[in-house]
Structure 1
Amino acid sequence: MDIHIVSPNDYRQIHQLRDYCFPNKYTGARREDFHYWIEQSTTLGAYDHKKIVGQLLILPLNMTVHGVPYKMGGIGFVATYPEYRQQGIIKRLMIEALQKMRDNGQTISVLAPFSVSFYRHFGWELFFEKLHYTIPQAQFPSFGKQLDIVKRMSFEWVEPELFKEIKDFHNIMAILQNGGMVRDDAWWKRIERRSPDSHFAAYFQADKIEGYIRYTIQQGTFVIQDFIVANYLAEQAIWRYITSHAASVDQITGVTSNHYPFGFYFKEPQFKREVIQDVMVRVVDVAAFMQRYPWRDITETLTIRIDDPFCHWNEHVYQINKNGQVSIIETNSVSDKHMLTLPINLFSAMMVGYLSVKEAVVYANQSTVEKTLQRWQRALPTEKPAFYEYF
């Protein structure tokens, strides 16, 4: 079995493997979209002679961590034919993917797991709790009557100037949002191919866009796909726009972050909610990641040991000085109780803000002195991450 980047001559085999292993066969625009990302990604194949029997795509994406942009590898379309399973093919693909991401400068990675325990074994960890909500018509929020300036378009009837304002606004907000992903034109094209019936409504204040939603209306359900606002006034205006559809829809569905006090100001906030954890994160290159990290307040030198059996380049003891500079030191120069010792999955979840320092240490079953914990707590930003993209 040989693992290497798939040549264009074998892209047809990637389509065949995807269509066999995933529940819905791609046709039309979806097939076109998938082919585009085969070409743009680092597409790895496991070859049995000339036949591709396993595959993995590393999409060239991005992610904001506490205000700092990072190159991110989006892992997707991981599959093997059933007759080749239980042979370690996916393991070899994952190990090769980690090396390729490091070579590409993708210091962080995100994926949607088919099994949390499987990907946790390779160093990924859950990092975002999505709140799926369903609001019946009787509980639609009411924020009074007001004449709001709302401009509307759809993928079918695009308003070029409005669409540019929406895209620019989205990316500004993505940079401000911990965990946000800046969308380039290729990603917007992907969204259009996957949801060609999407509509947009943008709220303006003093000729400046302050919020927008992307949505569809399906069989009496108003489905919110994006809900991005700059402030509470914009949020109210967007809800007024949504509820203006009350005569033609029976319910509203959408997704938000579980750490956000969603619906707090609604008159009737007791509607159906479900928390889903379906994305995982991993730091691929610890040294490169920490060199760019926006440390908050380092009062004394910080020390951490990383355990990462699948990325030998990460298995070191690191020191971070007061200026945020990172260096690798000898393991016997610091007492174990005066430094953190974390596996890569818990380190990743902690650094993006999902786990607190104390939670990471508890789950790692490590003994660390209280002063060391306090130093790390002061040094790390605390904003929770939110990640809504699909790939």
Structure 2
Amino acid sequence: MEIKLIPPKDYLQVHRLRDYCFPNKYVGEKRDDFQYWIEQSTTIGAYDGDKVVGQLLILPLNMTVHGKNFDMGGIGFVATYPEYRQQGIIKKLMLEALREMRQNGQYISVLAPFSVSFYRYFGWELFSEKLHYSIPHAMFPNVGKQLDVVKRMSFEWPDELLFQTIQDFHNCQALVTNGSMLRDEAWWKRIERRAPDSLFAAYFHADKIAGYIRYIIPDGTFIIHDFIAEDILAEQAIWRFITSHATSVHTIEGFTANDHHFGFQFQEPQFKREIHMDAMVRIVDAFAFMQRYPWGEIHEPLYVCLEDAFCTWNECVYRINKDGHVSVIEANSIMDKHMLALPINLFSAMMVGYLSVKDALIYAKKDAIKEVVELWQKAIPNNRPVFYEYF
């Protein structure tokens, strides 16, 4: 079994393997979109002779961590033919993917797991909680009456100036929203190919965009895919626009961050909610990641010892000075109780703000003195992440 980058002459085999292993066969625009990402990604294959029998794509994406944007490897379309399973092919693909991401400067990685335990084994960890909601007509929010400035467009009937304004606004908000992804032209094109019936509504305040939604309205259900507002006034204006459809829709559906206190201000907030944990994160190169990390307050040098069975380059003891400078030190130069000792999955979830330092240690069944835990907690910005994109 040979693991290597898949050349263009074998891209048709990538389509065949994806179509066999995933529920819906890609046709039309979705097939074109998949072809684009095969070409743009680091596309790795497992070969039996000339046949691609396993594959993995590393999409060249990005992710904002506490205000700092990182190149991110998005792992997707992991598949093997059933007759080749239970042979360690996926493990070989994952190991090669980790090496490729490190080499390409993708020091952090995100994926949507088919099995959490499977990807935890390789060092990824849950880090995002999305609250999916369904609001029946009788519970539609009433946020008062006001004449708002709202501009609309769709992919079918585009407004180029408005669309560019929406894209710029989205990325400005993504830079200040922990866990968000900047969308470039290619990603918006992907959205258009996969959701060509999308509608847009943008709210303007003082001649500047202050929020927007992307949505569809199939069979009387108002389904929200993007809902981004810079403040509570913009959020209320967008809700006024949504509920102005009350005569023609019976349900509003969407999702938001689980820590958003969603619906608190509604008169009837007791509608259906479900929490989905469908994204996992992994730090690929801990040293490079920590060098760029936007540290908070560091009052004394910090120390951490990482365990990483699949990225041996991460298995070091690190010292972080008060100025944020990171170095590798000898393991016996610091007492165990004065440093954190964590596996890479829990360290990753902690550094992006999903787990507190104390919780990471509890789940790792490790210990550290109280003062060390407090120092680390001050050094990690206190913003829980949420990742909304899907690939």
TM-score (norm 2): 1.00
Give the structure 2 partner of residue 331 of structure 1.
Answer: 331
Give the structure 2 partner of residue 318 of structure 1.
Answer: 318
Structure 2 CA distance for aligned equivalents of residues 228 and 208 of structure 1:
14
After superposition, the CA RMSD in angstroms is 0.4
Structure 1 CA distance for aligned equivalents of residues 379 and 177 of structure 2:
19
Q: Give the AA of the match of 1:65.
A: V
Deviations 1:151-180 (A, max 9, x none): 000000000000000000000000010001
Structure 1 CA distance for aligned equivalents of residues 183 and 355 of structure 2:
26
Give the structure 2 partner of residue 113 of structure 1.
Answer: 113
Pairing 1:127–2:127 present: yes
Q: Give the AA of the match of 1:247.
A: T
Q: Give the AA of the match of 2:90.
A: I
Give the structure 1 partner of residue 171 of structure 2.
Answer: 171
Residue 135 of structure 1, CA deviation: 0.1
Give the structure 2 partner of residue 284 of structure 1.
Answer: 284
Structure 2 CA distance for aligned equivalents of residues 225 and 258 of structure 1:
16
Deviations 1:211-236 (A, max 9, x none): 00000001110000000000100000
Aligned-residue sequence identity (percent) comes to 69
Structure 1 CA distance for aligned equivalents of residues 240 and 159 of structure 2:
22
Give the structure 1 partner of residue 255 of structure 2.
Answer: 255
Deviations 1:300-335 (A, max 9, x none): 000000000100110000000000000000000001
Q: Give the AA of the match of 1:274.
A: E
Q: Give the AA of the match of 1:311.
A: C
Q: Give the AA of the match of 2:132.
A: H
Structure 2 CA distance for aligned equivalents of residues 179 and 129 of structure 1:
11
Structure 2 CA distance for aligned equivalents of residues 379 and 31 of structure 1:
45
Deviations 1:238-286 (A, max 9, x none): 0000000001100000000111100000000000000010100000000
Structure 1 CA distance for aligned equivalents of residues 358 and 296 of structure 2:
17
Give the structure 2 partner of residue 264 of structure 1.
Answer: 264
1:76-87 correspondence runs (5 A): 76-87=76-87
Deviations 1:77-125 (A, max 9, x none): 0000000000000000000000000000000000000000000000000
Residue 134 of structure 1, CA deviation: 0.1
Tell me the secondary structure at the aligned position of residue 191 of structure 1. helix
Could you list the runs of 4 or more consecutive aligned residues of structure 1 that deviate by over 6 angstroms after TM superposition? none
Deviations 1:170-202 (A, max 9, x none): 000000100010000000000000000000000
Tell me the secondary structure at the aligned position of residue 157 of structure 2. coil
Give the structure 1 partner of residue 344 of structure 2.
Answer: 344
Q: Give the AA of the match of 1:171.
A: N
Pairing 1:240–2:240 present: yes
Tell me the secondary structure at the aligned position of residue 218 of structure 1. coil
Give the structure 1 partner of residue 47 of structure 2.
Answer: 47
Structure 2 CA distance for aligned equivalents of residues 130 and 179 of structure 1:
12
1:92-111 correspondence runs (5 A): 92-111=92-111
Deviations 1:30-56 (A, max 9, x none): 000000000000000000010000000
1:289-304 correspondence runs (5 A): 289-304=289-304
Give the structure 2 partner of residue 57 of structure 1.
Answer: 57
Tell me the secondary structure at the aligned position of residue 228 of structure 1. strand
Give the structure 1 partner of residue 361 of structure 2.
Answer: 361
Q: Give the AA of the match of 2:353.
A: G
Tell me the secondary structure at the aligned position of residue 263 of structure 2. coil
Residue 388 of structure 1, CA deviation: 0.2
Tell me the secondary structure at the aligned position of residue 217 of structure 2. strand
Structure 2 CA distance for aligned equivalents of residues 196 and 379 of structure 1:
43
1:116-195 correspondence runs (5 A): 116-195=116-195
Structure 1 CA distance for aligned equivalents of residues 381 and 127 of structure 2:
15
Structure 1 CA distance for aligned equivalents of residues 180 and 83 of structure 2:
39
Structure 2 CA distance for aligned equivalents of residues 133 and 275 of structure 1:
9
Residue 346 of structure 1, CA deviation: 0.1
Tell me the secondary structure at the aligned position of residue 295 of structure 2. coil
Residue 378 of structure 1, CA deviation: 1.1
Q: Give the AA of the match of 2:316.
A: H
Give the structure 2 partner of residue 207 of structure 1.
Answer: 207
Tell me the secondary structure at the aligned position of residue 389 of structure 2. coil
Deviations 1:4-44 (A, max 9, x none): 00000000000000000000000000000000000000000
Q: Give the AA of the match of 1:64.
A: T
Deviations 1:116-148 (A, max 9, x none): 000000000000111000000000001111100
Give the structure 1 partner of residue 388 of structure 2.
Answer: 388
Structure 1 CA distance for aligned equivalents of residues 370 and 274 of structure 2:
36
Deviations 1:355-387 (A, max 9, x none): 000000111111211111111011110100011
Q: Give the AA of the match of 1:223.
A: I
Give the structure 2 partner of residue 230 of structure 1.
Answer: 230
Give the structure 1 partner of residue 379 of structure 2.
Answer: 379
Tell me the secondary structure at the aligned position of residue 313 of structure 1. helix
Give the structure 2 partner of residue 17 of structure 1.
Answer: 17
Structure 1 CA distance for aligned equivalents of residues 366 and 356 of structure 2:
14
Structure 1, unaligned runs of 5 or more: none
How many residues are treated as equivalent by the alignment?
391
Structure 1 CA distance for aligned equivalents of residues 127 and 152 of structure 2:
34
Structure 1 CA distance for aligned equivalents of residues 118 and 237 of structure 2:
43
Structure 2 CA distance for aligned equivalents of residues 250 and 371 of structure 1:
54
Structure 1 CA distance for aligned equivalents of residues 380 and 164 of structure 2:
35
